[in-house]
A and B are shown apart, each in its own frame.
With several copies, the nearest count.
Chain A
Amino acid sequence: MNEQTPAGNFDEMDSVCIRFAGDSGDGMQLTGTQFSVVTALEGSDLSTFPDFPAEIRAPVGTTFGVSAFQINFGSVEVSTAGDEPDVLVAMNPAALKVSLAGLKEGGIIILDEGAFNKRNLDKAGYDSNPLEDNTLDGYQVQKLDITKMTLESVKEFGLGKKDALRSKNMWTLGLVLWMFGRDRKPITDWLEQKFKKIPDVAKANIAAVNAGHAYGETVEVSGELRRYSIGKHEVEEAGEYRTVNGNQALAWGLVAGSQLGDISLMLGSYPITPASTLLHTLSGLKEFGVMTFQAEDEIAAICGAIGASFAGNLGVTSSSGPGIALKTEAIGLAISTELPLIVVDVQRAGPSTGLPTKTEQSDLFQAVWGRNGDSSIVVLATSNPQDCFDVGIEAVRIATKYMTPVMVLSDGYIGNASEPWKLPDINKLEKFPVKHHTDTEDFHPFKRDPETLARPWVKPGTPGLLHRIGGIEKDYDSGHISYDPKNHQLMTDTRAEKIANIANDMPEQSVSLGTEGGKLAVVGWGSTRGAIHQAVKRARAENIDVSHIHIGNIWPLPRNLERLLKSYDKVIVAEMNKGQMNKLLRAEYLLDAYSLTKVTGQPFKITEILDCIREQAGDAS
């Protein structure tokens, strides 16, 4: 900790949730991200939730143009971005309107009074000014003319009004830093770096941060605005940490996998929200031998990846629901030719275009079952940013060892949310060097490894192993085209068996929290992990006999999962769709679970799960 650590009159709190909300142009994502960084640097646990509109820049002042960033941080383990913000920062009437309903009763509202003019009130659809009627009764409201104070603070740098107003978010950030006794230096350093080439802008922004901070320090709000102190989170493991979001971590995991597997990675992709940043990240890592191919569409993207895999590299392709749908036919080709391939689906709310910037877990069916023919692939789900890294590596390992497509399911929430991550040392991770087949003796392109059932992976260019493959059914021995009925049965069975067997090469299902066996278990997968974890933790604190089972390997399912699930009297399956994992578990294990679902484009709240646990525990007992 450094010298600026708060010494004054702080209320100690375990954790706090703040929501920054403003117009798309107000820079709320930046403010939130920077606040997260400072918070992380000071050792709090944290979880973030960027929540922005589909429009690039919707018209100023409208409710659908509101962009928000929520951060939950604490000295205790946080695992979600928080159910209900304790503090709401609202830069205009629309932001207030959209966010108020979610705010904790009695919570703090900091708002820019200067933005509550007639025009903005009209745009937000307020008939009367909420600052003047009783809309805000029951909250601790701080009306500050942030607009005016910002202009004042940057006056000396001679920026135009439009540019000067760009610093409003920094003024606000300064105030919030003050509230939580956080260090300003990382922010001012960052501003200096970012605006190195336009020093006036750097200075103006720094001045705004300082002015906001100073405002807190002055008498003007003392007594009204309290300060909070959130201690360090006593993380179990010592080491070096950073914050990372899911798409970044997944990109790095894939690269780490390619390093551990000693295989070049080729990403074929086509931009789509919320998967694009995976393409962006990987396109900047050419020095790692990572090649990126922005294709003309999703089909070309996956086909390029399949071509790369045929040529001996590891093909990867990334998209979101509608784009994954387009890849369906080509995934079949990779299944039939048994080539390694990684397909990343950063899920968003559907069906069709749906809600591109909102999160959902509704592509599970598509991942496991959504193809013509009997066509199993491996499906892995990521659950949070740091898990993305591990899943990235595992996907590379499995795809190359078993010559199979692997689908990685992430979602918009994981993809965008940041969390602290203990940095691994790549030299200490287990290597799994891929060996292309070179032995010409008794070679057949479909002669399988008796253990993994994988066929040999031959790099074209290798002498003596010339062969031709394709999507037509192949003879089990020679790999030649075969229309033989018995052979088709054998190949179909073998393809399914190969995938099913991979369960033996994956860890058994563990219990995340609680006990093996008992009255009640909550089963989840993907990004609901944090919320379920917290809910189960709280329920256990209430002496409810409930455990948390988080499924990461969706297909094949863990080999002990059936036994484990049946060791509870009752199971809740919680997910952000209409009950797809529940159906999968019913189909596989005839498991009669309670299906808790939510399809609003928003993550679960802890209390939503906790309420369900209480109810079902009551029923179960």
Chain B
Amino acid sequence: MNEQTDVKKLTFKDFETDQEVRWCPGCGDYAILKSVQMTLANIGATPENTVFVSGIGCSSRFPYYVETYGFHTIHGRAPAVATGVKLANPDLDVWLVTGDGDGLSIGGNHMLHVLRRNVDMQIMLFNNEIYGLTKGQYSPTSKPGSKTPSTPMGSVDLPLSPCSFALGAGARFVARGIDTALKALPITLERAKDHKGASFVEIFQNCIVFNDGTFDQFTQKKTAANSQIHAVHGERMIFGKEKDKGLVFNLEKFALEIVTIGENGVKEDDILVHDETNKMMAHMLVELTAPDFPVVCGVIYCNPEESYNDAVHNQMNAAKSAKKADFNALIRQGRTWIVD
């Protein structure tokens, strides 16, 4: 790894490449790219120590547009490739870019295991609830009834909730963001980067061509305040234009519910305080869906454990200090004989 004299701080422009960006005009991917480039600048990333790994899909073209090392792999396999990269060279800062098809359909198993193993990397899942690159077939996150070229009568599968899946897989960091949220997203990504272990960030991304407006219910500026909560550790789960709505746990129903501060004797103090280390709370928060509930963004769960790569390298180091690497001795262990 190489020392870098910090003569000049890099700006997000320094993370742009010479490649022309090839997404459809108006695609949410542009904004995410910008957020990521800003994040890299904010955290003072060293380009040569940063690697972007992706699968296949519109979103997976991402690495070509970030001035770092990059690997555009094959469909669904990015988590496995990224695991290899991180294990081989743990000093690299690894970012993974994937889509709802790439990461949860064909790549579901690798996503499951990279989360379970807790390999240190930032995983950005661009969820547009559609297969963009192959022209609009429904994906495992598409809403039931989606009419697409492969489901002319509407899809009948129950969709997957990416964050719910991630928690079930044992992820130790789960967060959410919105493509166009150019202020909030870099903050969330910075938290993801700070977390040592696999950080899972679902990003709602609008595919303007094949699934335009699928998240409008909670991403539109005019309704956002009433339909989103930005979770902050230690703060109360309050939302609404008037900051008068909040979440409480109803023991009777054994579920979260929305209350209005000032109504029925509800006080601000009654509102649930977000504890990002509490997995049960995380489970409840990720399952809240529009329009009945606000959609929870920001860092929903963060509860670090030793990363897989650290554990592997600790073992390697332990072995190295316990035994000498003497190849001639190795093959002479056990019973040998001399012919003369």
- Identify A286's interface contact among B17, B88, B316, B334, CB under 8 A: B316
The distance from the CB of B229 to the nearest CB of chain A, in whole angstroms, is 31
| B84 touches A (CB below 8 Å) | yes
Residues from chain B with Cβ under 8 Å of A266 in the complex:
84, 87-88
Q: Report chain A residues within 8 Å CB of B334.
A: 242
- Which of B146-154, B194-202, B230-238 forms part of the interface with chain A? B146-154
Q: Among the listed B64, B74, B151, B340, which residue makes an inter-chain contact with A238, where contact means beta carbons less than 8 Å apart? A: B340
A619 to chain B, nearest CB (A): 42
On whether the beta carbons of B316 and A289 are closer than 8 Å, the reply is: yes
Assess A293 versus B108: contact at CB under 8 Å? Given A460-B89, A461-B91: no
B84 to A471, Cβ gap below 8 A?
no
* Residues of the A chain whose Cβ atoms lie less than 8 Å from the Cβ of B4: 463
Asked, given contacts A308-B84, A461-B2, A468-B71, whether A291 binds B316 with beta carbons under 8 Å apart, the answer is yes
Chain B residue nearest to A311 (CB atoms) is B88
Of the listed residues A252, A266, A307, the one surrounded by the most CB atoms of chain B closer than 10 A to its CB is A307
Please tell me which stretch of B36-44, B185-193, B325-333 contacts chain A, meaning at least 4 of its Cβ atoms lie within 8 angstroms of it. B325-333
Report whether B315 and A330 are in contact in the complex, using a CB–CB cutoff of 8 Å.
no
B255 interface hit (Cβ, 8 Å): no
A459 to B25, CA, bound (A): 35
Q: How far is the CB of A494 from chain B (nearest CB, A)?
A: 20
Contact B22 A304 (CB under 8 A): no
Residues of A within 8 A of B51 (CB): 311, 460
A306: Cβ under 8 A from any B Cβ = yes
| Complex interface: chain B residues within 8 A of A295 (CB) | 80, 113
B247 at the A interface (CB under 8 A): no
* Contact (Cβ within 8 A) A240 B336: yes
Contact A287 B322 (CB under 8 A): yes
B69-93 near A? 1/0 per residue, CB < 8 Å = 1111111110111111111110110
Selecting from B131-139, B217-225, B288-296, the interface stretch reads: B131-139
Chain B residues whose CB sits within 8 angstroms of the CB of A285 once the complex forms: 330
Q: From A282, which residue of chain B is reached at the shortest CB distance?
A: B150
Tell whether A554 is near chain B: CB-to-CB under 8 Å: no
Q: Does A352 make an interface contact (CB < 8 A)?
A: yes
B210 CB contacts on chain A under 8 angstroms: 56
Evaluate contact between A299 and B77: CB separation under 8 angstroms: yes
Q: Which residue, B24, B47, B80, B86, has most C-beta atoms of chain A within 10 A?
A: B80
Residues of chain B within 8 A of A237, CB atoms compared? 339
A218 within 8 A of B: no
How far is B209's CA from A20's CA once the two chains are assembled, in angstroms? 23
CA distance A299 to B209 in the complex (A): 29
Q: A56-B209, A470-B72 are in contact. Are A241 and B84 (CB under 8 A)?
A: no
A77 and B151 alpha carbons, distance in the complex (Å): 38
Select one of A255, A271, A481 contacting B137, CB under 8 A.
A271
Contacts of B25 in A (CB 8 A): 57, 59-60
A160 to B84 CA separation, bound complex (whole angstroms) = 50
What are the residues of chain B within 8 A of A332 when measuring CB–CB? 74
- Which chain A residues in 49-98 approach chain B with CB under 8 Å? 54-60, 62, 64-65
* Interface residue ranges of A275-296 to B (CB < 8 Å): 276-277, 279-280, 283-289, 291-296
Cβ-defined contact, B87 with A329, below 8 A: no
A461 x B316 contact (CB < 8 A): no
Q: Is A270 an interface residue (CB 8 A)?
A: yes
Q: What residues on B are CB-neighbors of A255 within 8 Å?
A: 327, 330
Establish whether residues A56 and B137, one from each chain, have CB atoms under 8 Å apart when the complex forms: no
Highest count of chain A CB atoms <10 Å: which of B53, B76, B81, B91: B81
A303 near B73: Cβ-Cβ < 8 Å: yes
Smallest Cβ distance from B169 to chain A, in angstroms?
11
Contact of B109 among A252, A300, A352 (CB under 8 A): A300
The yes or no answer to A353 lying at the interface (CB within 8 A) is: yes
Say if the beta carbon of B7 comes within 8 Å of chain A: no
**Bound Cα distance from A471 to B73, whole angstroms:** 6
| A241 adjacent to B69 (CB under 8 Å) | no
Are A296 and B109 touching (Cβ within 8 A)? Answer: yes
Contacts of B320 in A (CB 8 A): 286-287, 289
A561 close to B (CB within 8 Å): no
Q: Is B335 an interface residue (CB 8 A)?
A: yes
User: Which residues of B are found within 8 Å of A259, using beta-carbon distances?
Assistant: 327
Q: How large is the interface on A (under 10, 10 to 19, 20 to 34, 35 or more residues)?
A: 35 or more
A56, A240, A280, A330: the one contacting B150 at CB < 8 Å is: A280
Q: How far is the CA of A337 from the CA of B109 in the complex (A)?
A: 24
Main secondary structure on A side of the interface with B: mixed
Q: Could you say which of A11-19, A35-43, A522-530 contacts chain B? A: A35-43
Please give, as numbers and ranges, the residues of chain A lying within 8 Å of B264 by CB-CB distance.
Answer: none
Do residues A304 and B134 form an inter-chain contact, with CB atoms below 8 A?
no
| A393 CB → nearest B CB, Å | 12
How far is B150's CA from A277's CA once the two chains are assembled, in angstroms? 8
The answer to the question of A186 belonging to the interface, with a C-beta cut-off of 8 Å to chain B, is: yes
CA separation between A42 and B339, bound complex, in Å? 10
Q: Are A292 and B327 in contact (CB under 8 A)?
A: no
- Which stretch, A99-107, A419-427, A598-606, A608-616, touches the partner chain B? A419-427
A270, A306, A462: the one contacting B48 at CB < 8 Å is: A462
Determine if B323 is an interface residue (Cβ-Cβ < 8 Å): yes
Interfacial chain B residues near A241, Cβ < 8 Å: 336-339
Q: Is B21 an interface residue (CB 8 A)?
A: yes
Write the nearest CB–CB distance from A242 to chain B, whole angstroms. Answer: 4
The one of A252, A300, A311 in contact with B77, judged by C-beta atoms closer than 8 angstroms, is A300
CA A57 to CA B86, docked complex, whole Å: 33
Known contacts A286-B315, A296-B108, A468-B17; is-contact A307 B328 (Cβ 8 Å): no
**Closest residue of B by beta carbon distance from A243:** B335
Q: Give the shortest distance, in Å, between B147 (CB) and chain A (any CB).
A: 11
In the complex, whether A273 has a CB less than 8 A from a CB of chain B is yes
Which residues does chain B contribute within 8 Å of A288, judged by CB atoms? 325, 327, 330
> Which A residue sits closest to B92, measured CB to CB?
A460
Residue in B74, B77, B109 whose Cβ sees the most chain A Cβ within 10 Å:
B74
Asked if B251 is at the interface of the complex by the 8 Å CB criterion, the answer is no
Tell me if B84 and A307 are in contact (CB < 8 A).
yes
A423 to B338, CA, bound (A): 10
Asked if A340 is at the interface (CB within 8 A of a chain B CB), the reply is: no
Note all chain A residues with C-beta closer than 8 A to B138.
294
Contact across chains for B92 and A310 when beta carbons are under 8 A apart: no
Other-chain contact of B332, A41, A55, A423, A462 (Cβ < 8 Å): A423
B149 touches A276 (CB 8 A): yes
Q: Once bound together, how far apart are the Cα atoms of A43 and B335, in whole Å?
A: 12
Are B47 and A466 in touch, CB under 8 angstroms? yes
**Given A307-B82, A464-B48, does the pair A276, B135 have CB atoms closer than 8 Å?**
yes
Q: Which residues of A contact B108 (CB under 8 A)?
A: 296
**Contact across chains for B150 and A271 when beta carbons are under 8 A apart:** yes
Q: Complex formed: what's the CA distance from A465 to B85 in Å? A: 17
> Across the interface, which residues of A come within 8 angstroms of B105, CB to CB?
270, 296-297
Q: Judging by beta carbons under 8 Å apart, are B53 and A59 in contact? A: no
B300 interfacial by beta-carbon distance below 8 Å: no
Considering the complex, which residues of chain A in the window 556-576 have a beta carbon less than 8 Å from any beta carbon of chain B?
none
- Rounded to whole angstroms, the CA-CA distance of A126 and B320 in the bound complex is 56
- Distance of B316 from chain A, by nearest CB (Å): 5
The answer to whether B53 and A307 touch across the interface, beta carbons within 8 angstroms, is: yes
- Given the interface contacts A307-B81, A311-B89, does A59 sit within 8 Å of B21 by beta carbon? yes
Contact check: which of B21, B23, B85, B337 meets A460 at CB < 8 Å?
Answer: B85
Known pairs A241-B337, A466-B47 / 4 extra A-B pairs, C-beta < 8 Å: A276-B135, A287-B320, A308-B85, A308-B87
For the complex of A and B, 7 pairs with smallest distance between CB atoms:
A307-B84, A470-B72, A468-B70, A286-B319, A303-B80, A304-B84, A311-B88
A-B contact pairs, 26 of them (CB 8 A): A40-B337, A56-B132, A237-B339, A242-B331, A271-B137, A276-B135, A283-B149, A283-B151, A286-B319, A289-B325, A293-B87, A296-B106, A300-B110, A303-B73, A306-B84, A307-B80, A308-B87, A309-B88, A329-B74, A332-B74, A333-B74, A425-B328, A460-B51, A460-B89, A463-B4, A472-B72
**A interface residues, Cβ below 8 angstroms from B:** 37, 40-43, 54-60, 62, 64-65, 186, 235, 237-242, 244, 252, 255-256, 259, 264, 266, 268, 270-273, 276-277, 279-280, 283-289, 291-301, 303-313, 315, 322, 329-330, 332-333, 337, 352-353, 422-427, 459-472, 480-481
